[in-house]
Structure 1
Amino acid sequence: MKVNIYDVAKAANVSIATVSKVINNTGRISDKTKKKVNDIIKELDYKPSLIASALMGKNTRTIGFILPDLANPFFSELARYIEDKANEYDYNVVICSTDYLKEKEDMYISLLMQKNVDGFILASGFEHFETVQKLMDEEVPVVIVARNYPEVPVNLVAIHDYEAGYQATSFLIQQGHQRISIIARDIWSNRERFRGYSDAMKDHQLPIPLEIYYAKESTIQAGHDSLQQIMQESKIAPTAIFACNDMMAVGAIKASQKMGLVVPDDISVIGFDDTLIAQIINPALTTIAQPKKKIANEAVNLLMSAIDGDTQNHTIILKTELIERDSVKKI
């Protein structure tokens, strides 16, 4: 049978309030009584309830990490780095995946609030900011990652998606490509990358395809289907594809190969994120790397500061890097 606080109080011959004060290091308790209670706690192997600790005003040493898709290597790698960094602070991480659905975002936030987590790292789309604003209004520590809210004061760690989209497209143009199509999903980060793509094309006086198709998901299959649609409906086939994440880029490569095209000889492909899949695919994927470990470290550091009482909001924008591999050819 599980030991509870009543068992500790009885064995130590003290009140429950005294045990609580010893656990939380509050009140005026003699060193002799503290030692006695702590010895009993160790002897009985008593583990204080996290919920009970929260009700007594003590941190549960747990944070909630809400992300859109754990199957996406970018978010799974980010989750691992966040867990590693949180463990350095002796914190546990509860991870929830939302599929970019607002009802799931709201559900998981409500659930984790009931679990008395000490704060949140939010990496989902959160297209509706009122969900985040409600947490902030309740003075719950929050850090946003993997998207930006330029006009909202909030703790945030992100990249400049617009500039990264411009960089990826400019690189393809520098390699001699003029007919460049994009595969993107209708979410904030991809819309910003699309905006960078569009401006890079305009700045080089290059035509943007008349029909833009947003992928329904950020998956290999979505990239595969998008590439097929682009090739079937384009009057002049593109020589290069900019996919707004590595999974869709891999899908585009698979579809190209199925159509008898050789990457990069017949069509070049550049991805985004630099996940493990970028190195496994053949040919190895040229991509825009996000500094995932640094994003995770900065996010956890910001959240720990907020939990400790820092009420200032901090915005950290990190740089991306172009990783050249084998999927883009100079023409």
Structure 2
Amino acid sequence: MKATIYDVAREAGVSIAAVSQVINGKGKISEERRNEIFAVMERLDYKPSVIAAALTGKKTYTFGLLIPDISNPFFAEIARAVEDRGHQLGYSIFICSTDNNDERVERYLSVLQQKSVDGIIVGTGMDHRDMLQPVLRKSMPVVLVARELPGLNVDTVVIDDYAGGYLAGGHLAGLGHKRIAVLAESAKLVSSRERIRGFREACEEAGLEWDESLVRTNGADLVKDGRRNATDWLAGDNRPTAIFCCNDLLAIGALQAAKERGLRIPADLSIVGFDNTILATATDPPLTTVAQPTGRMGELAVDLLLEQEGSRRESPRRAVLAPELVLRESTAALRGKAPIK
């Protein structure tokens, strides 16, 4: 037999009105007491009717999350952080994988609005930012995470991509590498452009000449494309001695290409990734990479959605988190060169 609101009230020792206020985010009830009532609801497996709430214009305690691909460890970690934070606050999350395809993005946005979600977190790329306008016109809270769409009046959670690229460039230049290749995601992504910009500036500050022919963007299959592009470079006589990859999946492709060519990592080739996903510790050798704080990013995205409920801000919030270079075994000083201290 399903639990009712009466069962929750009796078990928690409060009135039915108090339970209703907690469900709808209203009333002067302490955070501690709210959490106790949510715990009772979970223990009794009590589920308020989302459909009924939507029809009456009430909160549904659901959020939508749009990401490119749940199989990408970086976005899987973001999704887990969003889900954990949502669960902690009594929300359920609809996770949608879009493949950065505008048609799928548009369809998911429509479905999420039909389900009357309380807000949408967007972590996917899109060519036409106007697709978000119908959502924004309805005053539905929207937060971008790990993505930027300049010109849109929305809250954003990102890391300092420029600083991350700069860290990677300074590290490889400091190890004595001069001919360094770059594997990036789509040039349409602000994050990719900023990582390359930071990397280039660090290299040029170290006196290195920038070679645009050693920068390549990649398609949706990041491991496969990274491997193919790295193979092209490594097959030549004047091959690079290091590769900076704008995410860890591209770095795995580069590692595969190097091993197929019989190159030793890092003795013959240094590789730096970006994201610091779980894959970075599972590669052979473990991957030097620029870490993004995925847990904090997911939490902040949810918190910013909740901040928007019932509030009118004159300007959007932009949370910029700091990256960190994590040194492992895929990078080393160029043979014959002492690293710069």
What TM-score do the two structures reach when normalised by structure 1? 0.83
Structure 1 CA distance, aligned partners of 2:46 and 2:247? 47
Structural mapping, 1:182-193, within 5 Å: 182-186=182-186, 187-188=188-189, 189-193=191-195
Instruction: Give the alignment partner of residue 297 of structure 1, picking from 296, 299, 307.
Output: 299
Per the alignment, residue 177 of structure 1 pairs with 177
Contact 1:218 1:248 in 2 (8 A): no
Per the alignment, residue 249 of structure 1 pairs with 251
Secondary structure of the corresponding residue to residue 301 of structure 1? helix
Structure 1 CA distance, aligned partners of 2:137 and 2:278? 38
Per the alignment, residue 34 of structure 1 pairs with none
Q: Give 1:166 deviation, angstroms.
A: 1.8
- 5+ residue gaps in structure 2? 7-15, 25-44, 335-341
Contact 1:278 1:284 in 2 (8 A): yes
Structural mapping, 1:300-319, within 5 Å: 300-311=302-313, 313-319=316-322
Per the alignment, residue 133 of structure 2 pairs with 133
Per the alignment, residue 36 of structure 2 pairs with none
Secondary structure of the corresponding residue to residue 328 of structure 2? coil
Comparing 266-275 with 201-210, greater Cα deviation is found at: 201-210
Secondary structure of the corresponding residue to residue 293 of structure 1? helix
Structure 2 vs 1, CA of residues 289 and 91 (structure 1 numbering), >3 Å: closer, same or farther? same
Q: Give 1:235 deviation, angstroms.
A: 5.3
Per the alignment, residue 107 of structure 2 pairs with 107
Structure 2 CA distance, aligned partners of 1:209 and 1:235? 16
Structural mapping, 1:66-215, within 5 Å: 66-149=66-149, 151-186=151-186, 187-188=188-189, 189-211=191-213, 212-215=215-218
CA root-mean-square deviation: 2.6
Comparing 247-256 with 190-199, greater Cα deviation is found at: 190-199
Structure 2 vs 1, CA of residues 175 and 138 (structure 1 numbering), >3 Å: closer, same or farther? same
Q: Give 1:55 deviation, angstroms.
A: 1.5
What TM-score do the two structures reach when normalised by structure 2? 0.81
Structure 1 CA distance, aligned partners of 2:198 and 2:284? 27
Per the alignment, residue 51 of structure 2 pairs with 51
Letter in 1 for 2:242: A
Q: Give 1:3 deviation, angstroms.
A: 11
Indicate the structure (1 or 2) with the bigger Cα radius of gyration. 1
Per the alignment, residue 339 of structure 2 pairs with none
- 5+ residue gaps in structure 1? 9-18, 27-44
Structure 2 vs 1, CA of residues 151 and 174 (structure 1 numbering), >3 Å: closer, same or farther? farther
Structure 1 CA distance, aligned partners of 2:239 and 2:169? 17
Structure 1 CA distance, aligned partners of 2:274 and 2:46? 48
Structure 1 CA distance, aligned partners of 2:157 and 2:141? 14
Contact 2:234 2:261 in 1 (8 A): no
Q: Give 1:301 deviation, angstroms.
A: 0.6
Structure 2 CA distance, aligned partners of 1:300 and 1:47? 21
Letter in 1 for 2:84: D
Structure 1 CA distance, aligned partners of 2:231 and 2:47? 57
Instruction: Give the alignment partner of residue 221 of structure 1, picking from 219, 224, 245.
Output: 224
